[in-house]
Structure 1
Amino acid sequence: MRLSLLALSLLLAGPAAAQAPAGDWPAQKCALYEEAWNQALDQFGSDDMNYAFLAGNENFIAGGCTEGGMICPQSQQELDIADALTLAMMNSGTASTFLPFKCPRPEAAADSWSGPGL
């Protein structure tokens, strides 16, 4: 699996950047994300993907990749795609805050200490 993630991220490192005007970094990032999303779907398929994951990514792209997402990968396939998209986008120079992936913390974890021990 790591090899396919690496291969996908290397494939996405170059030509997609030419799809948006050179001075428009937000549009370039979105074009890169759209290309990465399409290639990830081609590589990993969508057999074990729930509608919320698929629609969340499509809506993120349709909105110009400007709305922070709450897309939470649930299946192994969705996690593999999210990992591949993260690697591809980080290799393209985007910050991790650009990505639309975020899973809500369980309520029990929200109030408990999650740092190192004393």
Structure 2
Amino acid sequence: MRRFGFALALMAAQLVSDGSQAEGHSNEGLTWRAQKCLLYKRAWDAAYLAVDQQDVSEKFLSRNASFLAAGCRERVAVCPRSKAEFDMANMLTIMTMNEGMASTFVPFSCRADGD
């Protein structure tokens, strides 16, 4: 497993915290699934800002966009390949778990068929 800096993860977590307050978005009245999806979207945005964006492929971005477009309800395999993508996947798994989600919520997996 590739490693990322603890400071980078903390920075991304802080961006999520700051961003959600600044945007004024409230989770009040949302189902737990909708809350998780909103939290994941915020975490995704923060993690993306924290990595080398040139090392994040269009396929990785579009697969994640599909996951979000489905309200985080469908299993979409988002397969990290580059260092930046692995860093994002690791950060997002930790960040979502810190929000009370199971590690299985995030869409990161690579299918045996060569996704």
Name the TM-score class by shorter chain: 0.7 to 0.9
SS in structure 1 of the partner of residue 104 of structure 2 = helix
Residues 4-23 of structure 1 aligned to structure 2 (within 5 Å): 4-12=8-16, 16=20, 19-23=26-30
SS in structure 1 of the partner of residue 54 of structure 2 = coil
CA distances 1:33-89 after superposition (whole Å, capped 9, x unpaired): 111111111221420111110101111112111111211100000000111111110
Tell which deviates more after alignment, 21-30 or 54-63. Answer: 21-30
Structure 1 gaps of 5+ residues are 108-118
> Of 85, 98, 104, which residue of structure 2 is paired with 1:91?
98
Identical pairs, percent? 36
> Of 3, 13, 29, which residue of structure 1 is paired with 2:7?
3
| TM-score (structure 2 length as normaliser) | 0.79
What's the counterpart of residue 78 of structure 1?
Answer: 85
What's the counterpart of residue 110 of structure 2?
Answer: 103
Structure 2 gaps of 5+ residues are none
Relative to structure 1, is the Cα distance of residues 102 and 83 closer, same or farther in structure 2, using a 3 angstrom cutoff?
A: same
Letter of the 1:8 partner, please give it: A
RMSD: 2.4
SS in structure 2 of the partner of residue 52 of structure 1 = helix
Relative to structure 1, is the Cα distance of residues 93 and 11 closer, same or farther in structure 2, using a 3 angstrom cutoff?
A: farther
CA offset at residue 23 of structure 1?
Answer: 5.0
> Of 17, 37, 46, which residue of structure 1 is paired with 2:44?
37
CA offset at residue 12 of structure 1?
Answer: 3.4
CA contact (8 A) 2:13 2:46 kept: no
